Structure 1
């Protein structure tokens, strides 16, 4: 048993606070949202705040709308594309072959001009 008079687990100024210390809370409203999986979300908004049409469902991550009978459709996610897939969207096979031939000819010219620096 200790003899000091400290209260453990608190900090200076961490007393009970009520409306008197904090001031009055702003008036707020609860808005209902439903996602495509049937989850019901009820976030709080200030009465004078603009209420968004869509809200992300915290349970499944799908978008939730304010109409229970007609929830918004899930977002369509594009599959992962490799760098090569993006290049193929921009260039045709003929363009790719022309670039390859140009690069190989430049490489061949550079190799032909280089002199050996020593024997191995």
Structure 2
């Protein structure tokens, strides 16, 4: 029984088919460049619709197709992500936040917070 086993092959690692007689689709190389100047070249079929942008594999920023004009300046590629503080300030003013903080600190000092949990 051990004589019939395939030796030296891992399951799913290699194909037993050969590439003899296979016609590959015509390809073209498309180059993208991200705002940090990382260059990525992707092979694509000549029949495929080439996207205007591609995610940079090095930094994750959107990379524009090299050689094409910029689409628009409405999307700033160096957009700074919003922090929790920024999102909080969109909902409440500093005075309101100060009043809430004072109220919660007073509750902590008086022990009311611990009584709520029990």
TM tier, smaller: 0.5 to 0.7
Do structure 1's residue 74 and structure 2's residue 68 form an aligned pair? no
* Structure 1 position 29, deviation (Å): 1.0
The Cα RMSD (Å) is 3.8
Match of 1:27 in 2: 26
The TM-score with structure 2 as length reference comes to 0.52
Larger-Rg structure: 1
Deviations 1:19-58 (A, max 9, x none): 43xx322111110111121111001211111111111110
* Structure 1 position 66, deviation (Å): 2.1
Secondary structure of the corresponding residue to residue 63 of structure 2: strand
The runs of 5 or more residues in structure 2 that have no matched partner are 97-118
CA distance in 2 between partners of 1:11 and 1:36 (Å): 42
Change (3 A) 1:40 1:68: farther
Deviations 1:55-81 (A, max 9, x none): 111011111112369778525144133
Q: How many corresponding residue pairs? A: 89
| Contact 1:34-1:68 within 8 A present in 2 as well | no
CA distance in 2 between partners of 1:30 and 1:9 (Å): 34
Change (3 A) 1:37 1:87: closer
The runs of 5 or more residues in structure 1 that have no matched partner are 94-120
Higher strand share: 2
| Contact 1:26-1:46 within 8 A present in 2 as well | yes
Change (3 A) 1:69 1:39: farther
